[in-house]
Amino acid sequence: MPPVIELDRLVVRLGGRTILDGLTGTLSGRAIGLLGPNGAGKSTLINALLGFHPAASGAVRVFGADVREAKALRRLIGYMPENDAFISHMTGVRFVRYMAELAGLPSEAALERAHEAFFYVGLGEARYRKLGTYSLGMKQLAKLAQAIAHGPRLLLLDEPTNGLDPPARQRMIRLIREIRDAGQMHILISSHLLRDVEETCEEVVILKQGRIAAHCDLESERRSNRKFVELETVGAATSFTDAVQGLGAECAFYPNGHGIARVKVVLPDEVEMRALFRLAAEHDVQIRRMNYRRDSLEDIFLAAMKEEGGVRGRP
């Protein structure tokens, strides 16, 4: 079975600027997160997958088919754009039916699927209202409904929780998880919100300035038994972190002012926790709080943002 997405030295230039710069990689996860700061190229990559932005060089393939054969490929894709995308004078169910028909469903099947999609996203009661009267959260859900109504194999979600309040965000995340767990389609989620991606994805690509800064399997990262410890300290100085690094540990020091600092430590397997207490006592450092943490997506992201060049994680 071909991978979901293959990037082969993909370069996309827009308005004379290089937006995606030689992306290479293979994405196969059931739910793939696309992370990066604003302007990193996340939406451009999604547009390239849809064939909206042609590759200046290189290629991008979806399910083994080059996106230059976009028409046949788009049958397999559902797309939920970042920005508003609706026809305000249409009722919700009519809009989704219309979009399903354009994807190739016969009229009656499209109507049935439109109703089902609306109930599925939780907008069943509002399906006969005009889209222009929907709240922002409802419009996001309607966008999701039109993206799944025709039964795609790959769902592209561009900032799906944009502008949602916490309950609406939770609902959207729950829906994405349900779709993922149903196992009928792959999902690519572009977001700048680490939490959204962490809660829904198992594979992550982090973009930075149009390049892949990190590509990792979150599940593997979660499974890896790295001892990640976060300390809140008083009186810690570089001498303490140097001593911690002397144990063979990776260590990052974040002073907060007034002598308080956050120290993140990744301990090697053979080092016991009490070694940290011993070093703290030797350097007259108070440990106010200690959290065991796995290597979180935030850490992967921050590391990727710091690294110049090279790709962290998978090649």
Give me the residues that bind another protein (CB under 8 A), please.
14-16, 47, 50-53, 71-72, 74-75, 77, 79, 81, 83-89, 98-99, 101-106, 109, 112-113, 115-116, 119-120, 122, 124, 146, 148, 150-151, 178-179, 182, 184-185
Q: List C-alpha distances in Å: 265 to 33, 59, 163.
A: 26, 40, 35
The three-state secondary structure class of 283 is coil
21 vs 221 by CB, closer to another protein: 21
Q: What is the dihedral of CA 93, 50, 155, 9, to 10 degrees?
A: -170
Q: Which is nearer to another protein, 147 or 244 (CB)?
A: 147
Query: DSSP state, 3?
Result: -
Q: Minimum Å distance from CB 30 to another protein?
A: 14
Of 51 and 313, nearer to another protein (C-beta) is 51
Output 137 or 313, the one with its CB closest to another protein.
Answer: 137
Whichever of 36 and 313 has its CB closer to another protein, that residue is 36
Using an 8 Å Cβ cutoff, are 73 and 79 in contact? no
Residue with smaller CB distance to another protein, 104 or 246 = 104
Distance CA 279, CA 241 (A): 9
CA–centroid distance for 151 within its chain? 22
Q: Which is nearer to another protein, 90 or 287 (CB)?
A: 90
CB of 84 to another protein, least distance (A): 5
Query: Which residues, at least 6 apart from 208, have a Cβ–Cβ distance to it below 8 Å?
Result: 36, 37, 40, 304, 305
- Distance (Å, whole) CA 104 – CA 119: 21
Q: Helix, strand or coil for residue 285?
A: coil
Distance of closest approach, residue 238 Cβ to another protein, in angstroms: 46
Shortest CB 247 distance to another protein, Å: 50
Tell me the closest approach of the beta carbon of residue 97 to another protein, in angstroms.
Answer: 9
Minimal distance, residue 153 CB to another protein, in Å: 8
Spatial distance between the Cα atoms of 117 and 97, rounded to a whole number of angstroms: 10
Which of these, 223, 239, 292, 237, lies nearest to 264 by C-alpha position? 292
The residues near 145 (Cβ < 8 Å, ≥ 6 apart) are 92, 96, 114, 117, 118, 120, 121, 123
Least Cβ distance, residue 131 to another protein (angstroms): 8
Q: How far is the CB of 59 from another protein (least distance, A)?
A: 19
Q: Which is nearer to another protein, 184 or 291 (CB)?
A: 184
Query: Looking at this protein, which amino acid is placed at residue 190?
Result: S
Task: Tell me the residue type at 88.
Answer: S
